[in-house]
Amino acid sequence: MSEHKEPSDASIYRGQTPAWCPGCGNFGILRAFKEAMIELGIKPHEFLIVSGIGQAGKFPHYLRCNTFNGLHGRTLPVATGIRLANHGLTVFAVAGDGDCYGEGGNHLIHAIRRNVNIKLLVHDNQVYGLTKGQASPTSLEGMVTKVQTYGVISEPLNPVSLAISLDCSFVARAFAGDIEHLKEIIKEAVRHKGFCLIDILQPCVTFNKINTFEWYRQRVYRLGEDHDPHDRLLAFQKSLEWGERIPTGIIYRHERPVFEERIPVLKEGPAVKRPPLTDIKPLLERFY
């Protein structure tokens, strides 16, 4: 499957020509996202993507959409502000594993705690792809890089387990090589009311020679209908499964009140659609 092949009616979402490495797992994520938007009937002007820094941060550049490029690790605070200002808009946050789980780890924890209705797609390639392949929080122990020449000595972060332990309202894992499955997970996340984390296993063909497409294909499997994502204990057990078998799908979901609905001033509708409470023109004139 060519990484440049698009679904038949995806031209309305076409942005700049991608500059990712040929074969990069990001192409599969981009295609799955476009197909999900088509099937959900969401037009480019009806959603916004906030991204940080890194190869994943380029994602909205390759789409026609509203977008905001933030700072490294600061994707979620910006997405939260946008969602609170206009909770009539579908808001996505896109980040890499280093961007979100490293620099942005504290923001991830509190976004989950608040349960803001944001859909977070993490491109998890287990390295810092933009800055030439040093280890990220999800790199496997012992992995040798140009920086970690003696191998990674820290245990990898398990973002799925972390999210479930914090009672994140929607936690999923997907594989960039399974576009159809990823598309369906994105659609379910959009339909879900509450904060959604999709950890996407995304091979980096340039800097990660361990976690390749073939490595994942030999290990990933889709959770079946016998898995109850509302069973938190079962979900946590599944989140710890890694190695010869790696589960993908919606691992945990819990419907609980979203942050926007708990703010009294927002019950009357999005803030951007209401007139200002005061006339600020006299105040501005004082600075002329």
Instruction: Kindly state the greatest CA–CA separation across the chain.
Output: 67
Q: What is the pLDDT of residues 146-199, one digit of tens each?
A: 888 888 888 999 999 999 999 999 999 999 999 999 999 999 999 999 999 999
For the full predicted model, state whether its pTM sits above 0.85. Answer: yes
Q: Which CATH superfamily is domain 11-285 in?
A: Thiamin diphosphate (ThDP)-binding fold, Pyr/PP domains (3.40.50.970)
* CA dist., res. 239 & res. 138, Å (int): 14
For the chain, what are the domain ranges? 11-285
Residue 87: partners with Cβ closer than 8 Å, 6 or more residues away: 117, 260, 266, 270
pLDDT of residue 83: 93
Q: What is the pLDDT of residues 225-271, one digit of tens each?
A: 999 999 999 999 999 999 999 999 999 999 999 999 898 888 777 87
pLDDT of residue 283: 79
Residue 10 has pLDDT above 80, yes or no: no
Q: Which helix (H) or strand (E) holds 222?
A: strand 220-222
Q: Which helix (H) or strand (E) holds 81?
A: helix 75-85
